Amino acid sequence: MQNYLPACKIVSTHGVRGEMKALSLCDGAQFLAKFKRLYAAANGSGEVALRGVRAQGNMLLVKLAGVEDMDAARAQVGKTYYFAKADAKLPEGRYFIDDLIGCTVLHADDGRTLGIVAKVDHPGVQDIYIVRDAAGEEHWIPAVPEFVVDVDIAARTVKMRPIAGMFDEPVNGDEE
């Protein structure tokens, strides 16, 4: 688990007063606007005050302390800025993807190990937990209450209640 996660990547300047256009690497402008500071490196070095952030289409417009003109903004192009997870307040039942990766997945009813969370994808309405079992096979599990019963980040476990076919052979003779 990392203590600093990517917030945005500066892609160009915007105007003449140091505002920059950035690609969001987090949950967007509303989420990022809650932070007072960002960091120039993933280890937490290079703290800089976040003076403002707003959405512009699918991009962000970001204003950082010390970046007061177009030349200073141009020097930031290509840089990624990070936020401290300790500064974030997530709603109940929400987790950082980084915290989920590597969690042991247990069957909610019998406690047997089903695998580990290898990736989290977001192709549509809900996240998909990609669970890798002991044999290296990947199983795609919708992150909905019907399947994901409990997430305990401190214990590094995710309890699931899979249906037939999620972790075993197809049922009723169904073949692919």
Pairing mode of beta strands 104-107, 157-160:
parallel
CA 70-29-43 angle, to 5 degrees, is: 75
Domain match, 69 and 126 both: no
DSSP tag of 86: G
Q: What's the whole-number mean pLDDT along residues 56-65?
A: 94
E runs forming strands in 85-137: 104-107, 113-121, 128-132
Does 80 lie in the same domain as 10? Answer: yes
Phi, psi of 51 (to 5 degrees): -90, -25
CA-closest candidate to residue 53, choices 67, 64, 42, 69: 64
- DSSP code, position 165: T
What is the model's pLDDT at position 97?
Answer: 86
Residue type, 31: F
Q: Assess whether 50 and 9 both reside in one domain.
A: yes
For residue 173, tell me if it sits in a domain: no
Number of domains in the chain: 2
CATH number, domain with residue 30: 2.40.30.60
The Cα 96–Cα 100 span in angstroms is: 7
pLDDT tens figures, 89-148: 888 878 888 899 999 999 999 999 999 999 998 877 788 999 999 999 999 999 999 999
Q: Which domain holds residue 145?
A: 97-160
Over residues 34-53, mean pLDDT: 95
**Which of 87, 116, 136 delimits the end of a domain?**
87
> What's the pLDDT at 173?
46
Contact 102/117 with Cβ under 8 angstroms?
Answer: yes
CATH of the domain at 151: 2.30.30.240
Residue 81, pLDDT > 60, answer yes
Give the number of other CB atoms < 10 A from CB of residue 86.
Answer: 8
What is the reported pTM? 0.73
Examine the domain organization and report whether 135 and 69 are in the same domain. no
pLDDT at 174: 46
Asked whether residue 106 is domain-assigned, the answer is: yes
Please name which of 148, 128, 150 lies closest in space to residue 139, comparing C-alpha atoms. 128
Contacts of 41 (CB under 8 A, 6+ apart): 4, 82
